[in-house]
Structure 1
Amino acid sequence: MRWVVSVIFLLFVLSGRMSAQVSQGGQPMKVAVLKSRGIPVAKMPPVDNHSLQQEKTLAGENGLKLKPLQFAHGFDVNISPETDGVWTYNINGFDVWQMRIVSSGAYSLNLIFEKFHLRSGAKLFLFNEKENRYLGAYTSYNNKSTGKFAVSPLAGDELVVQYEVPAGQNAKNDFVISQVNHDFTGILKYSDRRPRGITAGACNIDINCAEGEKWTDIKDAVCRIIVNGKELCTGTLLNNPREDQRPYVVSAAHCYDLLKYAETSIYTFNYESPYCAPLDGDPSNSVSGSEMRAFSDSLDFSLVELSLVPPPEYRPYFSGWDRRGLLRDSTTSIHHPQGDIKKISYDYESPVRSSFESEYTPNGFLKIRRWDGGVTEGGSSGGPLFNKEKNVIGTLTGGQATCSNPVNDYYARFDLAWEYKPDSSQQLRYWLDPDNQNPEGVEGKRFYENEELCLAYTNLEEYDNHQNVVLKTNNSFAGYWGGTNSAGITEFSEKFFLPGETNVLGVSLGVGIIKLTSGSSAREITVNVYNGRDLPETLIHSETVAVKDLVADAMNFVGFTEPVEPSDTFFVGFEISNLQPRDTFVVYQSLREPDKENFFFFNKDNSWYNFKTENTESKSMTNVFELVVCNVSPLVNDTPLVQNPKGMLIYPNPARSVFIVETGQAIAPQNVNVFNLIGQVVEAKLADVDDRKVEIDLSGNIPGVYFVRVKTEKGMVSKKVIYMPW
């Protein structure tokens, strides 16, 4: 039978989750607490979310036009295993402490710990039983010299803190909970639009849209910052002349009301949609804690050093910077407006030196007179301003720019922050130039190489549109192509092609719908990896996760317990277990026209099928999947190699000089031409790589946009390449 395809176009609500930062995984132990005593509760004083929202809005209207975003109200507390909570002893070799914390009406809660020193073998979890969300395990690996530790927000207005310690040890002084933060905004977006209805304005541009093509590396330097559990800003990971991977992050001084807040801030990398669409990202690539190195109120900059170097799977890029103070045409900013997924803004004109407010250094800022694309908002504070060489020249302080009037944003000048103040704690030079080389700037760099070079890959392209694609039999609703159905489809898979000895660390699934009836704990999905050329053939790895731990309308990362090394062509998919008749689980897909490449394959009655040949309109499809893969070629970035005989891929793109053209069939250099924007053939050096690849060198041509045209047996194919030699 050939099936009919239709699509449900949902409101693409930006819902998602906040995951643990560098946690060790696992789940909390089941503890049978006696009903007669229960888990003791620490209840926070009542707050009015609406009043707090109005208060912050009014403060923004009447005060300085700074652009952080306050989303939570903090309560100072003193809760510890010594004086509070309940201990249950000798459960499977562990003593377990529990404490319930409630702040009525909170959309999420996060905690700040002090005197934090977990002992070897102990595990700390935070979980919300009603929302089926948990964080952890945190272990001695998370101990810091500061004795402080911050955790990401957890959905809901209550949570349980559970500390599991090897039995017989006195662990009552291992930490103190010093602050409970009540989210009055709804920052998590985990089940519905933010209660205030505020996400990044419609004029904002997702970083993985066409405007971000030439920022593929640089974007990975930009992170979202949760400051002391209450405020959102943006920061940038910086390189230095030693190129020693010191994890310095530059941002705005006004983001840190107190210098000590650096110690309890969380820095999240790669929080973005996998392609050009408002699909919420997975914020699990987080680092908790930093130390303030340099800070200046009057120049409004801060420099912190993270508590650890972001690991390879975070794919960190250390941005370059330029302290010359040159004002050239065009600037770009990458940031997290409203704390949302990563966005890009750009201005084709040169900024001007300007003063901001009387409290700040005169002429200490670069003024963007008008954005040509995108804008900044609350949460963008500290975001970088890049020059056309893609080096940092400023950090956002504030301004008047909005979607309706994108004018007058102010960036603190990097060149003044360099050494305007002589004190080492108030300048960048002491930290970024420890050997007194006095460089005018440094280039950005991705340090991890070979087995540790990790990148993200998706089959999604800009024309795609994530949807819940309906499956019909005999014109009747039969469920979804990407999940629950009554047509007997049991497994859903995506085809990938990555040459070489790559290691797959995990996959992010774009989950569209999760609706579970009561007693949902047994529902699971199993992620499977298969080798195979035309269809999945040999199962090489499986990973099972509970459906209740996933979040709808967001990317959900499923990490593998060990790296998986597939063949060049392989398949990644999932199957669902133990769903009840009224349960629904669906992964987003993008339905494509027949001339586009198909990547979706499904299993029915223990046989695999190609979606393109099994639907009545011969449509193609791709799943909303994104792989994290290591030991990859630096020439291949964020996109799999082409398989469609009519297709063509250029990488890297943008290119500094040399790039590869690959098609889905044999090509020869004599059948390849490069044209400029007015249709003239330009000089380029061409060389064979293999029968489907040609290397092109544009050295000597002026920077800009070019078109590569290839003559094949299937006709002419062409593709745009951006040549940026700097």
Structure 2
Amino acid sequence: MLESIMKVRSLSLVLSLLLTGGAQAAVILETSSEALRVDAAAAPKSEHWRSGAKAAAVAPLLQLPALADERAAAVKRRNESNGNRRLQIGISRGIASEAVDDLPQPQLQYVDGGAVLRLDVASPGAVALRVGLRGKNWPDGVELRVAGADGVIHATDAAAARNQADGDGVFWTAVTEGERQQLELFVPAGIDPAGVALRVDSLSHLLVSPLTAAHSKALGDSGSCNIDVVCRTGSLGQSFVNAKNAVARMVFQSGGGSYTCTGTLLNDTDDSSQIPWFFTAHHCIGDQSEASSLATFWNYETPTCGVDQSGPNTQLTGGAQLLYSQGSTDGALLKLNSTPPAGAVFAGWNANPLTPPVAVTGIHHPSGDIKKVSIGNNSGTRENVTFDGQTATSTWKSSWSQGTTEGGSSGSGLFTIATNGGYQLRGGLFGGSASCSNSGQGESSGNVDVYSRLDLIFPSIEQYLVPASTGPGPSRDYTGQWDVRTEGGRGISMFQFGNTLFAVWFVYDSQGRPSWYQLDPQWSATDVAGGRVVKFTGSPWGPTYNPDARALTQVGTFTLNFTSGAQANFTYNVDGVNRSVLLQKY
């Protein structure tokens, strides 16, 4: 047990001294890896149909026509011609545009504790499916369950579905095996099921399954020169094992299809928490809609060297918050909305510039295959590199002596080895010409890849990886809208950046006038903040602005005591009014 929860972090963080205005300021520029603590790991949960297995098996079927062969062939051609490494693995099929006649209505059945709406969706010939549902308006208490051919049931509650919905209100289900996905929407007692819609907007017909062994993939396996990570664990040791366990396969929706890339779970410098920061490429995840649709697959690797079959792996749904994504660096940082599974590791990183030549290692999912490793050298930088219309101003240039990269490797980490033997991320794959046809010689044709530079990205993400963790602070992110559920038309908007919480409060004052207040939170204990309530006055609305008319006045004090990620006790004294209320996040 002690070994399973041990910290791999060296605890001796390297401090680089930067001269700022003649004074020396210590800035943390690197850290080591850390194993996910057992008590924080996502516990496996066995799900069951609310309606019972027999009832779930006879739901109405919404079946699209067979997908035209040319559409799948076009995807394969685009993937083969794409210089950067994002790989399309599925085709979105809109229900309104795919000529489905006589759309079936979900079947209603009353069960213990409420009612269920059941519907099956099918796209003939699909290896796997995702379904886009209109879940933006599902009330609290509603639960969605889905399953595919393997019978594994995935559950999502209404709050998660709302959180993951894109700008059009579409929420994407988990990836399930086979051409048919079963849907069951549970509506608790007290909510009229007639007012809750199980509405299918679209589905993604997957040509490649993220769930099965590599040999079954419709788009072909990765090249023969790729090396299974398990084949190097003996020679490279535990530090390499830690690094590979930080790497996950990604599946997400973008434009007209499903795509796969690779990402890496990153550590931060705060020992008191384990926040799932996830690093990948901008050309993989460039906006919040893509991040919201993200599913990650962990331990997708063969357990035995030379055996073309994946062992047990875990799909993590829930999407992510997009914190940073920029085309000029091709870097992206997300925060996963769900806790990674047991066995995951938070990778170390180093935000200092590389000093070439230096040995490098890539860990990735080429062609969406089981996890592979590439070993080579970094020979410097390449400036103003363009792939698919996107230009990265400066990249790390690497070539391989063992292995290669392919479509699906996009965003995967470039690692170097620290003096303590730990692997540290230095960037993510942007694109390149590397393939199994290369000669293995550095700088040769067909053997060069370029990676984003963490040293250039770091100033934009430092607030997350090096949080201001001295003294009391929050144990989780409280960003969101908070209110008293029985008091509509008022509430608090909170925005959290690291340990800094910004809060704006809209309420009706003691005279019944609509008023905006700003809270000035100072953390006094873990998850407890308090301070001034202030009100601003300024120039009247108009074409000119008078900065001298702006004034800040304290009108009271407050205390926020967060009891969970979705509830807080709010006590305030404003303009002589004292009150304590329960706030909830929605």
Q: TM-score range by the shorter chain?
A: 0.5 to 0.7
**Alpha carbons 1:107, 1:184 under 8 Å: kept:** yes
| Structure 2 match to 1:394 | 427
| Structure 2 match to 1:65 | 83
- Partner SS, residue 71 of structure 1: strand
What is the CA distance between 1:333 and its match in structure 2?
0.7
What is the CA distance between 1:203 and its match in structure 2?
1.1
Tell me how far apart the structure 1 counterparts of residues 250 and 153 of structure 2 sit (CA, whole Å): 18
| Structure 2 match to 1:326 | 355
| Structure 1 match to 2:405 | 376
The partner residue of 1:101 within 111, 115, 121 is 121
Tell me how far apart the structure 1 counterparts of residues 214 and 452 of structure 2 sit (CA, whole Å): 37
Tell me how far apart the structure 1 counterparts of residues 292 and 45 of structure 2 sit (CA, whole Å): 21
Instruction: Establish whether residue 431 from structure 1 lines up as the match of residue 464 from structure 2.
Output: yes
What is the CA distance between 1:354 and its match in structure 2?
4.1
Tell me how far apart the structure 2 counterparts of residues 24 and 144 of structure 1 sit (CA, whole Å): 22
**Alpha carbons 1:69, 1:231 under 8 Å: kept:** yes
What is the CA distance between 1:434 and its match in structure 2?
4.5
The partner residue of 1:232 within 224, 237, 260 is 260
Q: Using a 3 Å threshold, how does the CA distance of structure 1 residues 394 and 258 change in structure 2: closer, same or farther?
A: same
User: Structure 1: which 5+ runs fail to align?
Assistant: 1-20, 420-426, 438-726
Tell me how far apart the structure 1 counterparts of residues 276 and 214 of structure 2 sit (CA, whole Å): 34
Q: Using a 3 Å threshold, how does the CA distance of structure 1 residues 144 and 219 change in structure 2: closer, same or farther?
A: farther
Tell me how far apart the structure 1 counterparts of residues 368 and 236 of structure 2 sit (CA, whole Å): 19
Q: Using a 3 Å threshold, how does the CA distance of structure 1 residues 285 and 157 change in structure 2: closer, same or farther?
A: closer
Q: Using a 3 Å threshold, how does the CA distance of structure 1 residues 86 and 227 change in structure 2: closer, same or farther?
A: closer
| Structure 2 match to 1:180 | 203
**Alpha carbons 2:214, 2:310 under 8 Å: kept:** no
| Structure 1 match to 2:70 | 51
Tell me how far apart the structure 2 counterparts of residues 121 and 31 of structure 1 sit (CA, whole Å): 21
User: Structure 2: which 5+ runs fail to align?
Assistant: 1-41, 98-102, 439-445, 471-586
**Alpha carbons 2:107, 2:119 under 8 Å: kept:** no
Instruction: Establish whether residue 126 from structure 1 lines up as the match of residue 146 from structure 2.
Output: yes
The partner residue of 2:191 within 151, 159, 169 is 169
Counterpart of 2:74 in structure 1: which amino acid?
Answer: E
**Alpha carbons 2:327, 2:391 under 8 Å: kept:** no
The partner residue of 1:408 within 448, 451, 465 is 448
The partner residue of 2:303 within 271, 274, 297 is 274
| Structure 2 match to 1:153 | 175
What is the CA distance between 1:316 and its match in structure 2?
3.0
Tell me how far apart the structure 1 counterparts of residues 204 and 43 of structure 2 sit (CA, whole Å): 21
What is the CA distance between 1:118 and its match in structure 2?
6.4
What is the CA distance between 1:74 and its match in structure 2?
0.7
Tell me how far apart the structure 2 counterparts of residues 270 and 384 of structure 1 sit (CA, whole Å): 16
Tell me how far apart the structure 1 counterparts of residues 206 and 138 of structure 2 sit (CA, whole Å): 27
Tell me how far apart the structure 2 counterparts of residues 170 and 96 of structure 1 sit (CA, whole Å): 11
What is the CA distance between 1:137 and its match in structure 2?
3.5
Counterpart of 2:147 in structure 1: which amino acid?
Answer: F
Residue-by-residue CA offset, 1:257-286 (whole Å, 9 max, x unaligned): 543210111122222222323321323252
Instruction: Establish whether residue 283 from structure 1 lines up as the match of residue 313 from structure 2.
Output: yes
- Partner SS, residue 208 of structure 1: helix
| Structure 2 match to 1:215 | 240
What is the CA distance between 1:309 and its match in structure 2?
3.2
The partner residue of 1:417 within 433, 437, 457 is 457
Tell me how far apart the structure 2 counterparts of residues 432 and 110 of structure 1 sit (CA, whole Å): 32
Residue-by-residue CA offset, 1:356-388 (whole Å, 9 max, x unaligned): 2275556511111x3111111111000000122
Tell me how far apart the structure 2 counterparts of residues 307 and 34 of structure 1 sit (CA, whole Å): 29
**Alpha carbons 2:146, 2:153 under 8 Å: kept:** yes
Q: Using a 3 Å threshold, how does the CA distance of structure 1 residues 31 and 363 change in structure 2: closer, same or farther?
A: closer
Tell me how far apart the structure 2 counterparts of residues 185 and 132 of structure 1 sit (CA, whole Å): 16
| Structure 2 match to 1:663 | none
User: RMSD of the TM alignment (CA)?
Assistant: 3.4
Tell me how far apart the structure 1 counterparts of residues 325 and 365 of structure 2 sit (CA, whole Å): 22
Counterpart of 1:269 in structure 2: which amino acid?
Answer: W
What is the CA distance between 1:167 and its match in structure 2?
4.7
Tell me how far apart the structure 2 counterparts of residues 281 and 31 of structure 1 sit (CA, whole Å): 27
Tell me how far apart the structure 1 counterparts of residues 468 and 296 of structure 2 sit (CA, whole Å): 28
- Partner SS, residue 56 of structure 1: helix
| Structure 2 match to 1:672 | none
Instruction: Establish whether residue 75 from structure 1 lines up as the match of residue 93 from structure 2.
Output: yes
| Structure 2 match to 1:710 | none
The 5 A counterparts of 1:295-310 are: 295-310=325-340
| Structure 2 match to 1:27 | 48
- Partner SS, residue 409 of structure 1: strand
| Structure 2 match to 1:625 | none
Tell me how far apart the structure 2 counterparts of residues 191 and 433 of structure 1 sit (CA, whole Å): 38
**Alpha carbons 1:366, 1:411 under 8 Å: kept:** yes
The 5 A counterparts of 1:450-489 are: none
- Partner SS, residue 279 of structure 1: coil
Give the length in aligned residue pairs. 398
Counterpart of 1:55 in structure 2: which amino acid?
Answer: A
Tell me how far apart the structure 1 counterparts of residues 43 and 70 of structure 2 sit (CA, whole Å): 35
What is the CA distance between 1:31 and its match in structure 2?
6.9
Tell me how far apart the structure 2 counterparts of residues 264 and 189 of structure 1 sit (CA, whole Å): 20
The partner residue of 1:247 within 271, 276, 279 is 276
Q: Using a 3 Å threshold, how does the CA distance of structure 1 residues 404 and 118 change in structure 2: closer, same or farther?
A: same
- Partner SS, residue 152 of structure 1: coil
**Alpha carbons 2:129, 2:176 under 8 Å: kept:** yes
Q: Using a 3 Å threshold, how does the CA distance of structure 1 residues 78 and 147 change in structure 2: closer, same or farther?
A: farther
**Alpha carbons 1:299, 1:360 under 8 Å: kept:** no
Tell me how far apart the structure 1 counterparts of residues 364 and 106 of structure 2 sit (CA, whole Å): 43
Tell me how far apart the structure 2 counterparts of residues 186 and 146 of structure 1 sit (CA, whole Å): 22
**Alpha carbons 2:426, 2:453 under 8 Å: kept:** yes
What is the CA distance between 1:187 and its match in structure 2?
4.8
**Alpha carbons 1:399, 1:409 under 8 Å: kept:** yes
| Structure 2 match to 1:193 | 216
The 5 A counterparts of 1:612-631 are: none
Tell me how far apart the structure 1 counterparts of residues 322 and 357 of structure 2 sit (CA, whole Å): 31
Tell me how far apart the structure 1 counterparts of residues 431 and 107 of structure 2 sit (CA, whole Å): 49
Counterpart of 2:376 in structure 1: which amino acid?
Answer: D
| Structure 1 match to 2:156 | 138
Identity, in percent, stands at 25
Tell me how far apart the structure 1 counterparts of residues 192 and 96 of structure 2 sit (CA, whole Å): 19
- Partner SS, residue 364 of structure 1: strand
**Alpha carbons 1:89, 1:167 under 8 Å: kept:** no
Structure 1 residue runs of 4 or more that deviate by more than 6 Å after TM superposition: 31-35, 117-121
Instruction: Establish whether residue 294 from structure 1 lines up as the match of residue 313 from structure 2.
Output: no
Q: Using a 3 Å threshold, how does the CA distance of structure 1 residues 111 and 354 change in structure 2: closer, same or farther?
A: same
Normalised to the residue count of structure 1, the TM-score between the two structures is 0.50
- Partner SS, residue 216 of structure 1: helix
The 5 A counterparts of 1:522-541 are: none
Counterpart of 2:226 in structure 1: which amino acid?
Answer: N
**Alpha carbons 1:69, 1:338 under 8 Å: kept:** yes
Tell me how far apart the structure 1 counterparts of residues 120 and 258 of structure 2 sit (CA, whole Å): 21
Tell me how far apart the structure 1 counterparts of residues 393 and 190 of structure 2 sit (CA, whole Å): 63
Q: Using a 3 Å threshold, how does the CA distance of structure 1 residues 379 and 325 change in structure 2: closer, same or farther?
A: same
**Alpha carbons 1:109, 1:153 under 8 Å: kept:** yes
Counterpart of 2:462 in structure 1: which amino acid?
Answer: R
